[in-house]
Amino acid sequence: MTATATRPITDQLNVLLADYQVWYQKLRNYHWNVKGPLFFGLHEKFEELYLDAAVKADELAERVLALGTKPLSTLREALDHARLAEDDGSPSAETMVQNLVSDIGTLNQALRATAKAAADSGDDATMNLLDPMADEQEKTAWMLRAFLG
């Protein structure tokens, strides 16, 4: 496959990469700033999630490179292209978790759509990368919703 042939997929992967870069920083923000009686559990969970987001961002960037395109690499590029938004406020611990559940929904919708587009174009490697990411995050979203009650 040439870079031109894979351009629609790499464009979608780059937006996903931007989303994960923003999500990573949101998780770091929450990790640093969570307060109250839920602090200990959420502080640890947010760290687990941001470490996972960093791995996913790296995998997405490497897939973009493997397809012959340059990954979005700067914070400005991430903010300009991401569907997810930063959270510069000071939400409650429960609002943080609600925001993350919403973000996972956005990420999973994009992961599934990009995986389908990759499958339709014969790019099994991209599909095989993205589907397990979405599967894993569905479980995370379920656990966060259970936390909320």
With a cut of 90, say whether residue 141 has pLDDT above it.
yes
Domain ranges in the chain are 7-148
Buried residues in 120-140 as b, exposed as e (16+ CB within 10 A): eeebeebbebbbebbeebeeb
Q: What is the DSSP letter of 45?
A: H
pLDDT of residue 6: 67
pLDDT in tens, 34-46: 999 999 999 999 9
Q: What is the DSSP letter of 70?
A: P
Q: What is the mean pLDDT of the chain?
A: 95
Whole-structure pTM value: 0.94
| Range in 49-53, 58-62, 88-92 the model is least confident about | 88-92
What mean pLDDT do residues 112-128 have?
Answer: 97
Buried residues in 19-52 as b, exposed as e (16+ CB within 10 A): bbbbbbbbbbbbbeebeeebeeebbebbeebbeb
User: Which listed CATH number (1.20.1260.10, 1.20.120.10, 1.10.150.120, 3.30.420.40) goes with 7-148?
Assistant: 1.20.1260.10
pLDDT in tens, 81-110: 999 999 988 999 999 999 999 999 999 999
pLDDT of residue 88: 85
Q: Which class for 103: exposed (0-12), middle (13-18), buried (19 or more C-beta within 10 A)?
A: buried
pLDDT in tens, 2-28: 455 568 999 999 999 999 999 999 999
pLDDT of residue 36: 96
| Amino acid at position 81, single letter | H
